[in-house]
Structure 1
């Protein structure tokens, strides 16, 4: 436990130090009684123990303190607070009255809290809650509570209260405080909407081994009824991530409708060059997530996708085979949220059986400075189990990058061709072709400065680009074509400022900030686009922590008003544990 102390010098062995604010407090030495009386926010320190209170009476021979009014005791086990406290520095035992403590995952309050030994407390008439409000929405009360810090809390019997109303009683309850991964019952989660409904989630976590675990959840909603969930995570099959299985089942007692959900994600490394990635996402009704999930992103997703993708790499070539099934969640009448009657309907579905693609690397043409990259794919798609499109697509690009002193120039030509065996009109053997031209120029300007004794590198990268593509008509494609009646002709400008901390053996340095601005001009419409700006901070100077924060803005350059602002922050803690 870390705390602030007014003492600058380290403690000597067996020494007790005390302090009061000299402007408002005082110290009274009672020599005959071997006591020291401290008044007005007194502070004492002994070994790893720190105590503060408004009034403290310290018995010097017995090393016993009596603290009153706002007593707070901190040591390696944590911090406890109370109105009155008696504590022995030598035995490290004591009694706290009207005490409270923030223990792992929640808050404990008790009329009497007794420290009976190292890492042990005994509470009388105490309450526990995870609610942070001074008047919690719910709490557990028990006449007897045993707390083993960093291990567990044992209470018996236990009564659960919603506000001041008792709703549930148990003969005993054990709450784990252990931080390491272990099997055990999970702490219940409660959510109460006044005048509406109560949600209770509880379950059991099973640490099967170092490579897998399972969580069994039981959900209760006072309006809808009971539900069950199972989450399984495992590291078998791949070294690249965690595979998972999620099952859920509910029965809505308002509508007497049964709901279920299956979601699996698995990556199988067949060999060093071949990987199979599968995902199964099934619901018995498309309104399942909208009706039951509490996460906004899941409630608002627009489709469900199940697929199997086999990827093979041979050298720099890639061969991909994929089959997929997609269910639209936008079907009107597929369900209703909250307490409205759910109306079921047949969802819209589409399938790809299969998609086969082959792509090659960017390679020099005949050993020259011309570079070529290409791709070839074949697609067989269905909608509502009827064949909708069958075509072969090929793409290719040729580029000629070169330098003029400090300026890098890269012109390129890209072509695309699709041969359709069937279109939405039932016609066969139809060919679609298009192309695009582009050119880009960029350079880099380097600068070095030394603020606060550190060497920082500033990299300025301005770039100018131009792109052109002709009009085309692909509206006849059943897979979703468009008709473009006018060409696209656009200039683009981008300016990037990057900042990096230089290391002794790192020529590029550690990049911690990027400032980017970009805008384009359409020569056909004769209009500038919005000016987009972004600032990204990634001060990742430790291998255990990863932080990235990005602020993006979009300005209308004609009215000079901000049309869009977004802030995205991501944080990751990396540990050496095998299974998170």
Structure 2
């Protein structure tokens, strides 16, 4: 079934020079292997072997022709052709295929329903109405046209078209070309017309494109909008951006230089350099932008991250603006005008005995705080690895074993400079160390503070600056006593002393009398269990009071010291203070038959893992267990001993207190023995039915603070009891209220004992995702002996995110479940897709304005409210300053996406900024609209229609209105 003839080589170049999709290449069944005779004939010089097969073969040796009919296939080397009818004219070196034909050469495929003619001597072939499919940058393209392949390797296409739309019956768009030539890596076409639903919308006289997919040097496509060509108003200013050149230095680095021109305003020169060496853990970029106009400004940005070793890392982020006011006027992005320009430099190294961190930072404010720069240089911190002395196993340790020694050091210099204001220089250094032996701890600390103030407008008769410094030192002793359940008592003794120096002490340090303090802290948890309602099986109310007592005898301070301005002696009388902190949490356990959706499940599981704390009740049920009593009589484990991960857990209701006096050891809740859970659960159910309050829940047996208060393993060295039951986390925080401490001083005569001036509260709930509500009260009116208790709401801040998939219904799994957010093709106008040429935006951080709400469902709303009030007469400050920020993201239809954000000043009844973004999915195209108004009055309107499969092909409209231009 073979023949010897002139070799058949059908080489067809793709229309755009792209590579054929390997998935789309389907070669026919392999031909049978040649026998010995055929192999010898194929090896003769001057002869080429062609293998062919068909249902019917007509071979004419006199005419040197072969006609293959029905399922005809011929193969030569790495090229093959399949057709309904295939004629081979060996004398003329021609191959003619008719009917439905498919050519495969070099894994490239061309199909046609017409005729394919190939001249094997001239190495030229043509295909009428040929169709091909190829992949370019992850996109499948489909082309059709009259293809001619020449001997020199060039390919001509006449009356052709191509598209990435895969709907054959109703193509949404296509490009039609008169003639195209592919030569090497260059494609040239003329003329080119864009058709949308059969309607021509764009015509170009010619088109040129480099078809290589790799990074390469070349000119960047400039960006300009339709309104930059056709003027729409008399005061319109045109702009052309990204006029420049891109250089691909090597596989690890590239650079570019561009020019932005804004008529009548300014011209900006941009340059960027980027590098990324993965094997050396080296990555970074440098950008320099200089604008020229009536006023100039220079911006320098740099980023560098490097892992010098597994223990050493280096990071650097620099952002410097020479003239912030000019930068604000030239900016149209609302977020850029209120940002803080930050620069950071950090070096971290882990020694076997300590971790060292050396850093520096620079903060430059924009907006209302423009002109203020904070520079921290240097900032040194070192934390020593805790050292355990006389280490011994917990079951054989004595009272002198497992002594833990720890320490830390930190120092920094902070420089605050203002364009119109006093400059401040602060030097700070502190060191601390501690020794802990079981429940007994000893600590010592010292700190140094120096402040230098340089006056902006000094007194003509006074000094130009003012300097003061102080040295503080002291120590403390504490011992923790574990009472019943989670109740702990920690008595403390501390000693504080200080030395002070300023200009009035003639440069000499003055000793401040030392003060002794005696105190104690008492912490416990109170629980109330109540029957469930609705989807809740049970509800628990947890109250966590914290009491702190502090007594300090009076000290005598000479009047000569008190007369020194700025002397830090403070009150020298007796101090007898009591602090009270109360935190409350209302938790509910979902019924077993309640199904949670994916988002609610992730929200509940997102908290720190722990066992079901609602399944444990009275502490007496555990303490009556003789096995636990025997363990309690055993020796204590060393601080920091390995914890029993199966027993230790964290209560989801444990939240850090906002104020002083809060005990950090009020959180972990443990299921001590799963075998005891059933009896404890029965006790809890009986108490819940009566609504009783249980004191000292068994879930909190606090141990050594270093091992984690409330951890059974921390206290008893890891109990080897029955296996624990892994339980799914199905607890919901209905309401959490965390309050700052209230402090009372009973040594004050003729004055209220309450000395707390401001009382703060924080509220959170799982029913509203991201809820954070804070409020503060100014408790007293007046000062001194004449002040009276009169609570006054001074500040309220709140924020939460609400969507169709969250809230009360969503957290129960009863919501709509949401839907997919806007697709990835809907991108911001400031980042219009990736280009194979240009560097991406220097700032790789997400847009601060965009909270990433597009995946929250059909709609997502984020609200932030702020209220600030000052007690006093009827003034603007006493009436309060109120503002609200809102970001709404919604998907009105499967093809539309909308994001609207604004800030509104409720006090002045005016908007601060607006930003409205609309995205329309047009199958393979994306239309985007952006309206933005910055706080300084700059307005921008952008419209872009771009091909998602080729982001460089787009149609932009960009209108910018500057507040300065309107004033002119």
2:357 is matched with 320
Give the structure-1-normalised TM-score.
0.54
Cα separation, 2, equivalents of 1:436 and 1:158: 88
Deviations, residues 272-320 of structure 1 (Å, cap 9, x unaligned): 98765433212454896998799x9x97994332133344555443433
Cα separation, 2, equivalents of 1:221 and 1:44: 62
Deviations, residues 147-184 of structure 1 (Å, cap 9, x unaligned): 43xxx1142778798974457x77x84615153x5x43
1:391 is matched with 428
**Larger C-alpha radius of gyration, 1 or 2?**
2
2:284 is matched with 243
Cα separation, 1, equivalents of 2:383 and 2:284: 28
Q: 1:263 to 1:557 in 2, by over 3 A?
A: same
Cα separation, 2, equivalents of 1:524 and 1:560: 22
1:244 is paired with a residue whose SS is strand
- Does residue 76 in structure 1 map to residue 106 in structure 2? yes
Correspondences of 1:160-171 after superposition (within 5 Å): 164-166=201-203
Query: Which of 303, 310, 335 is 1:265 aligned to?
Result: 303
Cα separation, 1, equivalents of 2:651 and 2:479: 11
Cα separation, 2, equivalents of 1:377 and 1:362: 17
2:282 is paired with a residue whose SS is coil
Displacement, 1:327? 2.7
Cα separation, 2, equivalents of 1:467 and 1:365: 35
Contact 1:121–1:147 (Cα < 8 Å) also in 2: yes
Deviations, residues 548-576 of structure 1 (Å, cap 9, x unaligned): xxxxx9997996359999999xxxxxxxx
- Does residue 491 in structure 1 map to residue 671 in structure 2? no
Correspondences of 1:81-480 after superposition (within 5 Å): 84-88=114-118, 93-97=125-129, 102=134, 104-105=136-137, 111-116=145-150, 120-124=154-158, 143-148=179-184, 152-155=185-188, 164-166=201-203, 173=208, 175-177=210-212, 179=214, 183-185=216-218, 188=221, 201=242, 203-209=244-250, 212-217=253-258, 228-234=269-275, 239-249=280-290, 261-266=299-304, 277-283=315-321, 284-285=323-324, 302-311=339-348, 314-328=351-365, 331=367, 346=370, 348-367=372-391, 369=402, 371-385=404-418, 386-387=423-424, 390-394=427-431, 419=447, 421=449, 429=470, 463-465=648-650
Displacement, 1:114? 1.9
Cα separation, 2, equivalents of 1:131 and 1:223: 42
2:281 is paired with a residue whose SS is coil
Q: 1:306 to 1:492 in 2, by over 3 A?
A: farther
Cα RMSD after superposing both structures: 6.6
Q: 1:15 to 1:230 in 2, by over 3 A?
A: farther
2:22 is matched with 2
Displacement, 1:145? 1.9
Cα separation, 2, equivalents of 1:352 and 1:566: 46
1:450 is matched with none
Greater mean deviation of Cα atoms: 42-51 or 242-251: 42-51
Contact 2:362–2:373 (Cα < 8 Å) also in 1: yes
Cα separation, 1, equivalents of 2:264 and 2:161: 27
Q: 1:306 to 1:274 in 2, by over 3 A?
A: same
Cα separation, 1, equivalents of 2:442 and 2:337: 37
Displacement, 1:214? 2.2
Cα separation, 2, equivalents of 1:554 and 1:371: 47
1:491 is paired with a residue whose SS is coil
Contact 1:391–1:420 (Cα < 8 Å) also in 2: yes
Q: 1:211 to 1:29 in 2, by over 3 A?
A: closer
Correspondences of 1:519-558 after superposition (within 5 Å): 530=766
Contact 2:72–2:85 (Cα < 8 Å) also in 1: no
Contact 1:218–1:226 (Cα < 8 Å) also in 2: yes
Q: 1:96 to 1:201 in 2, by over 3 A?
A: farther
More helix by share: 2
1:464 is paired with a residue whose SS is coil
Cα separation, 2, equivalents of 1:140 and 1:250: 42
Correspondences of 1:34-73 after superposition (within 5 Å): 34-36=66-68, 46=75, 48-49=78-79, 56-60=84-88, 64-66=95-97, 73=103
Structure 1: gaps spanning 5 or more residues: 19-26, 333-344, 402-410, 444-459, 473-481, 495-514, 534-552, 569-580
More strand by share: 1
Cα separation, 2, equivalents of 1:223 and 1:566: 47
Displacement, 1:325? 0.5
Cα separation, 1, equivalents of 2:410 and 2:159: 71
Deviations, residues 196-253 of structure 1 (Å, cap 9, x unaligned): 999875754434356543233456899999765433234699932123212345679x
Contact 1:492–1:518 (Cα < 8 Å) also in 2: no
Contact 2:433–2:445 (Cα < 8 Å) also in 1: no
Q: Of the two structures, which has the highest relative contact order with CA contacts closer than 8 Å and spacing of 6 or more? A: 2
Aligned length: 456
Displacement, 1:370? 5.1
Structure 2: gaps spanning 5 or more residues: 1-20, 34-49, 233-237, 393-401, 454-466, 487-607, 612-644, 672-726, 740-762, 770-804, 822-968
